[in-house]
Amino acid sequence: MDKMRMLRAIRSELWAMRPEAFAQYLSFLLTVDVEEKTPRLPRVEGKVAVIPIHGTIGHRRSSGYWADTYSEDIAKYLSEVVAGPGVGAAILDIDSPGGTVAGLSEVADAVNAVKATKPIYAVANPEAASAAYHIASQATKLFATPSGEVGSIGVWAAHQDVSAMLEQAGVKVSIISAGKYKTEGNPFEPLSDDAREEIQRNVDMHYDRFLGAVASGRGVNKSVVREQFGQGRMIEADRAKELGMIDGIATMGEVVGGLVKSTRQDRMRAADLGIRLTESSFRR
């Protein structure tokens, strides 16, 4: 994969991802020759579909950079696998530090469309951060493993200024453009105040949408999400349960086992499942 093309594609994205995890991701991409691999496919146990959402979440395979999971695939699995007649419920098996903002709204819409007729459960196993928590928060019920964490609610963008490096190398870049803002935020010169303001406006807009999605999924006001759901920090399972960020604490095996048993008994109503599983299997 062309690393310069990949970096340009990455630079053009807004991110809902833990910054330290992004640094590791970027270092990996720059030092290892990565190739596209077979995606992690959903599996079906009994009447329960298990959809893995692991690692960095990208938008789509044609985005120009490699990711562990693509939001386009998640939406496809939800609409094709989970919505199929042989499936009565789904579990999102999540272990992700987040990813791109692009594609998140579409996945959230897909989760909400399916859960209108079939329950969807999400498990932070053990991590559902940022973009991954955005998706998880839309589930019928959301759980975390005992050592799990959720949160990192926020959006960020990065500007790369390589002008000093180019100057030191004896390279001078002249930009010729049409359109007042066509080249704002380019990497060949320092970030202007106007460009910074526009980037901040875009970040704020998507952050507000993020807050709204989580608020809707968790049944609280946006102000609660903004002020009480970590303010960008990760929250451990016990505290997340107290704050209302998750519904319970359970291992992936407990969730799968409980749902498979329930589907065999044809108890597929979301309300019944939520009450039954929380009372019988999940640690509070």
Model pLDDT for residues 228-240, shown as the tens digit of each residue: 999 999 999 999 9
Contact 78, 114 (CB under 8 A): yes
The reported pLDDT for the residue numbered 36 is 66
Does the residue 240 lie in any domain? Answer: yes
CA distances from 13 to 40, 88, 151, 175, 189 (A): 23, 36, 20, 22, 19
The reported pLDDT for the residue numbered 252 is 95
Single-letter amino acid code for the residue at 250: A
Does the residue 208 lie in any domain? Answer: yes
The reported pLDDT for the residue numbered 265 is 59
Among 11, 120, 107, CA closest to 59: 107
The CATH number that applies at residue 84 is 3.90.226.10
Q: What percent of the chain has pLDDT over 90?
A: 69
Q: How many domains does the chain have?
A: 1
What global pTM score does this model have?
0.88
Model pLDDT for residues 140-178, shown as the tens digit of each residue: 999 999 999 999 999 999 888 888 888 899 999 999 999
Does the residue 94 lie in any domain? Answer: yes
Does the residue 183 lie in any domain? Answer: no
Peptide linkage before 97 cis (omega within 30 of 0): no
Model pLDDT for residues 97-147, shown as the tens digit of each residue: 999 999 999 999 999 999 999 999 999 999 999 999 999 999 999 999 999
- 187 has a pLDDT exceeding 90: no
Element (H, E) at 43: strand 43-45
- C-alpha to C-alpha distance for 262 and 277, rounded to whole angstroms: 9
Does the residue 176 lie in any domain? Answer: no
Residue 43 structural domain: 3-157+196-280
- C-alpha to C-alpha distance for 4 and 180, rounded to whole angstroms: 27
Does the residue 166 lie in any domain? Answer: no
The reported pLDDT for the residue numbered 166 is 87
Does the residue 172 lie in any domain? Answer: no
The reported pLDDT for the residue numbered 281 is 41
Does the residue 8 lie in any domain? Answer: yes
The reported pLDDT for the residue numbered 267 is 44
- When the pLDDT of each residue in the chain is averaged and rounded to a whole number, the result is 89
Single-letter amino acid code for the residue at 148: G
Q: Give residue 270's pLDDT band: very low, low, confident or very high (50, 70, 90).
A: very low
Q: Give residue 264's pLDDT band: very low, low, confident or very high (50, 70, 90).
A: low
